[in-house]
């Protein structure tokens, strides 16, 4: 295969499969409830502080030093700003979460999922399935590449027990060169020249006829 291993290309999907989006939604709801309760507690503190200032303001001045009063007042004045920033961040996070889920549902519709399947399919389960498939694809791809490399190495260098290697081992380089030279000489020889080969068996009847005709001529 000439493609990549796929698993290294979808690291974001693998990370997304480790996140529980249902738990994220629950955490958003809990944070909003806690932020609202913090506002209520801040209002209670402000009302209690107003009552203290109205009834026992002068008595508290003699009991507490100026440093503790300044620290308490600064923290109380910063609490509304902190809670407001928390509310803004929660709104941004919830908007991002809603947009991600909407895009995920749009992607499922693009793949051909029905509305019921889209509603029942969780983002973390879908991403985990894709990640597991990429792992299986990578392992299978590595096995195929290793098998092809072994086959290629086997065709290039056959083992000593194979017939091809046995024939090659039996023939020496000198024998190969002699056979090649004889073959080239036979191909270069003209067809009109008839050569007698003493190694070939001859017909005895034909040889006797030749001898008889030679004796009669004498």
Angle, CA 200 vertex, CA 197 and CA 201 arms, to 5°: 135
Is residue 38, in this structure, part of any structural domain at all?
yes
What tens-digit pLDDT sequence spans the chain (218 residues)? 577 788 888 888 888 888 888 889 899 999 999 999 999 988 888 888 778 777 655 554 444 455 555 666 677 778 888 899 999 999 999 999 999 999 999 999 999 999 999 989 999 999 999 999 999 999 998 898 899 888 888 876 655 555 555 555 555 556 667 777 777 777 776 654 445 555 555 555 555 555 555 455 55
Give the Cα separation of 62 and 55 in Å (integer): 14
* Domain boundaries, position 90: 19-133
**Is-above-0.75 flag for pTM?**
no
Report if residue 70 sits inside a domain: yes
What pLDDT score does 192 carry? 46
Identify whether 34 is part of a domain: yes
Task: Give the count of domains, the chain.
Answer: 1
Structure tokens at 134: 């990429």
The pLDDT score that the predictor gives to residue 45 is 82
Q: How many CA atoms lie within 13 A of 8 on its CB side?
A: 5
Whether 1 is in a domain gets the answer no
Residue 194's pLDDT is what?
A: 47
What's the pLDDT at 17?
87
- Quick check: is 190 in a domain? no
Residue at 154 is within a domain: no
């Amino acid at each position: 295969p000439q493609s990549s291993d796929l698993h290294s290309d979808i690291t974001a999907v693998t990370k997304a499969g480790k996140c529980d989006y249902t738990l994220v939604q629950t955490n958003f709801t809990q944070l909003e409830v806690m932020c609202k309760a913090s506002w209520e507690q801040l209002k209670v503190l402000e009302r209690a502080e107003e009552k203290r200032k109205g009834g026992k303001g002068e008595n508290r001045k003699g009991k507490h030093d100026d440093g503790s009063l300044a620290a308490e007042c600064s923290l109380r004045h910063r609490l509304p700003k902190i809670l407001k920033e928390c509310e803004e961040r929660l709104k941004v996070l919830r908007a991002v979460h809603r947009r991600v889920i909407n895009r995920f549902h749009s992607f499922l519709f693009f793949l051909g999922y029905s509305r019921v399947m889209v509603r029942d399919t969780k983002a973390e389960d879908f991403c985990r399935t894709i990640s597991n498939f990429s792992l299986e694809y990578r392992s299978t791809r590595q096995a195929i590449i290793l098998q092809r490399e072994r086959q290629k190495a086997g065709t290039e260098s056959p083992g000593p027990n194979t017939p091809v290697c046995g024939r090659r081992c039996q023939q020496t380089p000198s024998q190969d060169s002699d056979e090649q030279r004889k073959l080239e000489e036979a191909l270069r020889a003209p067809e009109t020249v008839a050569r007698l080969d003493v190694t070939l068996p001859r017909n005895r009847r034909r040889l006797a006829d030749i001898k008889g005709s030679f004796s009669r001529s004498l």
